[in-house]
Structure 1
């Protein structure tokens, strides 16, 4: 009995720490952040004000890539990739496809997702979400390059109330999606490598389908079949056929996939069959979505469009969500892959994204009868917006995330604000870091925080960090040099590739700083031009280090699949030593 009570108490404490108020512990020598303000101000929104019946595209700004969507009645649920961010797989809810609320994360426990030793662009890729009306259950299926999981599925009766532990699936490859047929049968499709010895060129991939056992939550051995080899036209050597989804309409089965790689040649293509296991015939008008044929100098450029999913909207019209990017004036991608939406014309045999092959506009017409409430009443903001966080609420907003581990492991709520317990890990290590992150969501933005902190040694540092990856980042924080308190700006970037790659850090600037009062730190950007500033009185900000390039905070330079993350950062393993 005593053991049972102890176990129950342990479970309750874990649940409270992950879903309730912040931990109340008071660690020694830890910074307290009393305020954080994110402000985005892009010209595209200034120049394109909304009419009453319009909303902005993208619907999720910043690093929210690879969207998938499902519907039950009037409820829509959408998930996106999260890589090594924790919690994993952000999940959003809407009743109208315009106004979205983040209701949490699908993978919010370390028992579901272990990314503690994972590079920032590994971890969870391309989730799919589907509702099965035959057993009134939601399924989320994805790939995790971490923790030995591979491909797996979790499920729930109610996405508002959390998800199951993972069911590991017995197949290789990536980008799995699940399909529930009208007869109650289930299938899984995914990207895979060709059979050994049959790879024809670099980027040659196939799409496979399996039958799925709903009782055992496992693919049925021996039922796998290749249904697409290479892509629409193998003779053209298409690359990276992936992100497959099956839909059924008018008695026929439609397979929609991304093709061309998740970059400048990205696109969406579609096939049709009389059977869920094929054979599938490509549509004659592929691609049905792409921005690859357009002028590189077009205004308000959206690029890399693809990796899409379809859903029937509240107006009985189809819509497609997909990823795209909005590069800055240097063509750098700092905001990462974002989630866009377009209406889809499916009046003919094949679906076609409306205006998906011409330059995309920043605004769309809302479905009839919908009111735009984005940024109000708890709905996710888009366009230009300001977010002010004083860390006084009982529950930390879902937009704040950790890296490789739970944020609850290092944050605590105090009377003065949010306290971060510094780990013996710095931002360049592939380990959990004591950093609370917010995504960059605009080309032009500022992020300002106010911090109370007294470092004890040069190994202590707290402040801000701007991170594309563990090998490409800026650190802007307060540390110690002898008996002096100093503010340092450090730039880190990798040089070379593979075994020859070397990560180098450089102190760009440093200055002695008065910490008798709280210090305010700010990262701001106008496109590629980043500045780091500070204030000791809360009003007058001074620049440190001049104007620096945001190149290392872009996908173009750093590689990977994430966008720039701005973090409230503390460490006891500092290596940003100030210049004399």
Structure 2
């Protein structure tokens, strides 16, 4: 596809994205954080926070909300990035930037259901794009799959199982011998066939990672997330150790280098290069890094972290400057990440974020909406009908259904949606972590239901008027309030139960997920969904 056509496609897919911040959005400092004065982000679509402050600086995260295990590709003047998608399908949404700070989605690369999808690697070789992805399609064991495309915007191939059993976190590199390799957790290595679509040898040990002192507070050793690049005469291997979650001081970034992809590897004398030192910092469990060259030839590190006080948002994507030192190593320069940093030089303005409000006049599956842990034919449950999304019922409640979910980028926000459950159907608006951790309200033909921490409070059921219902969810710094209206939003009824959700995250429920907006349809028949609106709030 010509570059001009590709850019037009990006503009169309990222409809509603902002090229530059309209203003600056105030946010209060988190209790105990080192942020003073209060943090202030750029304001994008619907008031969503974006990193670009409009004055040549940016404030992390560069991609807000649940975007973990970032893998980034520099392709000429363009940058592409994708993330772990776990149980969300369609999945592996690819994002685009020209300045490393402002990012907007292109669309999903993966449509076939493969179960849980963890840290992937996006690369380009001989003009073709590849995504190497760990998946657990049966729930009984991991393998590495690959999909490929001749254009970043797709279409992408069907997944091919490389049969690298029991492995996750692939990292692609071309060795000095011209051969292609994947490094995986461990840290182990396997040679690939020249076309990258099959292995060409056995899995073997590659590197024994640097070990931190035994008295450091970490989750576990867990060497993972190997990302590699060739810079000058050296190969550099960037690895995560210390555990992905758990204690906030656990996850960290380390490096090693070798003149050959086959080693020997020497540890960086400055390890760890990135690590959260205390709970007072604004970003916790920092790790899983990739190095990338900026538009003007300077260098940067992209990685993920949890936000202090908002683990519910999942692991978000951060950008930190680095510099190469005279001894051939590199060091991180970000310092206090509660403060703005200078943007990469030489980048052109590009779109940032995208509007989450949806009139359901077009298909936004994969870019905005995804089913959680769907069956192979789950997508057939949804059909568009003149501005209405008709969702076929599944399961008896959110506990055994596959709700429609949307990633949340902001600390505080408000959403509204109209739902009309058909005879025998039940619909509801949720904040959904997984089928064992969610809150929300539901509506069937005659009854209002209340779900508090994955359990319906049967005693709290209340009668309701017939017809469509408009529902409002307000999440203000982890305190959630529901309202509902039976007259199209002209008058509102406060739901009597408020809930606090700061504990709905990985360290309590596992799974490495985030708390997402969810819409469920259960029972029999179908539910008509219309006029979904999102608005970020201060605070």
Using the size of structure 1 for normalisation, the TM-score is 0.75
Give how far 1:229 is off.
2.8
**Secondary structure, counterpart of 2:507 in structure 1:** helix
Residues 295 and 346 in structure 2, CA contact (< 8 A), matched pair in contact too = no
Give how far 1:281 is off.
1.1
C-alpha separation in 2, matches of 1:315 and 1:530: 44
C-alpha separation in 2, matches of 1:443 and 1:545: 23
Q: 1:318 to 1:41 in 2, by over 3 A?
A: same
C-alpha separation in 1, matches of 2:215 and 2:364: 53
**Match 1:151 to one of 106, 126, 144:** 144
C-alpha separation in 2, matches of 1:467 and 1:346: 43
Residue 365 of structure 1 corresponds to 342
Residue 187 of structure 2 corresponds to 207
C-alpha separation in 2, matches of 1:226 and 1:419: 51
Give how far 1:505 is off.
4.5
Is 1:297 the equivalent of 2:280? yes
**Match 2:431 to one of 466, 479, 495:** 466
**Match 1:246 to one of 222, 228, 231:** 228
C-alpha separation in 2, matches of 1:212 and 1:168: 13
Give how far 1:275 is off.
1.1
Give how far 1:312 is off.
1.0
How do 1:29-40 and structure 2 match up within 5 A?
none
Is 1:260 the equivalent of 2:242? yes
Give how far 1:76 is off.
1.4
Residue 83 of structure 1 corresponds to 86
Residues 176 and 261 in structure 2, CA contact (< 8 A), matched pair in contact too = no
Residues 100 and 380 in structure 1, CA contact (< 8 A), matched pair in contact too = yes
CA deviations 1:10-52 (Å, max 9, x no partner) are xxxxxxxxxx9xxxxxxxxxxxxxxxxxxx9843687456242
Residues 476 and 489 in structure 1, CA contact (< 8 A), matched pair in contact too = yes
Residue 36 of structure 1 corresponds to none
Name the Cα RMSD after superposition: 2.8
Is 1:96 the equivalent of 2:69? no
Give how far 1:226 is off.
1.7
**Secondary structure, counterpart of 1:389 in structure 2:** coil
CA deviations 1:283-312 (Å, max 9, x no partner) are 111011111x13x234xx111110111111
Residues 453 and 515 in structure 1, CA contact (< 8 A), matched pair in contact too = no
Residues 142 and 167 in structure 2, CA contact (< 8 A), matched pair in contact too = no
- Structure 1: runs of 5+ lacking an equivalent: 1-19, 21-39, 116-122, 192-205, 494-503, 575-580
C-alpha separation in 1, matches of 2:27 and 2:370: 24
CA deviations 1:321-365 (Å, max 9, x no partner) are 11111132xxx511011111112212442222222xx43125332
Greater RCO (Cα-Cα under 8 Å, separation 6 or more): 1
Residue 400 of structure 1 corresponds to 369
C-alpha separation in 2, matches of 1:361 and 1:539: 41
Give how far 1:231 is off.
3.6
**Secondary structure, counterpart of 2:153 in structure 1:** helix
Q: 1:443 to 1:573 in 2, by over 3 A?
A: farther
Is 1:270 the equivalent of 2:255? yes
Q: 1:149 to 1:333 in 2, by over 3 A?
A: closer
**Secondary structure, counterpart of 1:43 in structure 2:** coil
Residue 404 of structure 2 corresponds to 436
Residue 180 of structure 1 corresponds to 174
Give how far 1:276 is off.
0.4
**Secondary structure, counterpart of 1:466 in structure 2:** strand
Give how far 1:236 is off.
7.6
Residue 5 of structure 2 corresponds to none
C-alpha separation in 1, matches of 2:378 and 2:296: 40
CA deviations 1:353-385 (Å, max 9, x no partner) are 222xx43125332223446554xxxx425xxxx
Residue 315 of structure 1 corresponds to 296
Residue 228 of structure 1 corresponds to 207
Give how far 1:56 is off.
3.4
Using the size of structure 2 for normalisation, the TM-score is 0.81
**Secondary structure, counterpart of 2:461 in structure 1:** strand
Is 1:533 the equivalent of 2:483? yes
CA deviations 1:135-174 (Å, max 9, x no partner) are 2112211210224761112222211122222222233321
**Secondary structure, counterpart of 1:408 in structure 2:** helix
How do 1:306-385 and structure 2 match up within 5 A?
306-328=287-309, 333-348=311-326, 349-355=328-334, 358-361=335-338, 363-370=340-347, 374=351, 379-381=352-354
C-alpha separation in 2, matches of 1:236 and 1:271: 22
C-alpha separation in 1, matches of 2:97 and 2:56: 17
Give how far 1:418 is off.
1.7
CA deviations 1:263-294 (Å, max 9, x no partner) are 22100000011210111111111011111x13
C-alpha separation in 1, matches of 2:209 and 2:524: 47
Residues 453 and 462 in structure 1, CA contact (< 8 A), matched pair in contact too = yes
Give how far 1:391 is off.
1.3
**Secondary structure, counterpart of 1:467 in structure 2:** strand
CA deviations 1:426-460 (Å, max 9, x no partner) are 4223xx62x32111222211121122334x34xx3
Give how far 1:507 is off.
4.0
**Match 2:414 to one of 433, 442, 446:** 446
Q: 1:395 to 1:338 in 2, by over 3 A?
A: closer
C-alpha separation in 2, matches of 1:371 and 1:420: 41
Residue 422 of structure 1 corresponds to 393
Q: 1:287 to 1:507 in 2, by over 3 A?
A: farther
C-alpha separation in 1, matches of 2:490 and 2:504: 28
C-alpha separation in 1, matches of 2:413 and 2:259: 50
Give how far 1:407 is off.
6.2
C-alpha separation in 1, matches of 2:280 and 2:293: 34
CA deviations 1:190-248 (Å, max 9, x no partner) are 11xxxxxxxxxxxxxx30122221247222224x4323335435978970110001211
Aligned residue pairs: how many?
Answer: 472
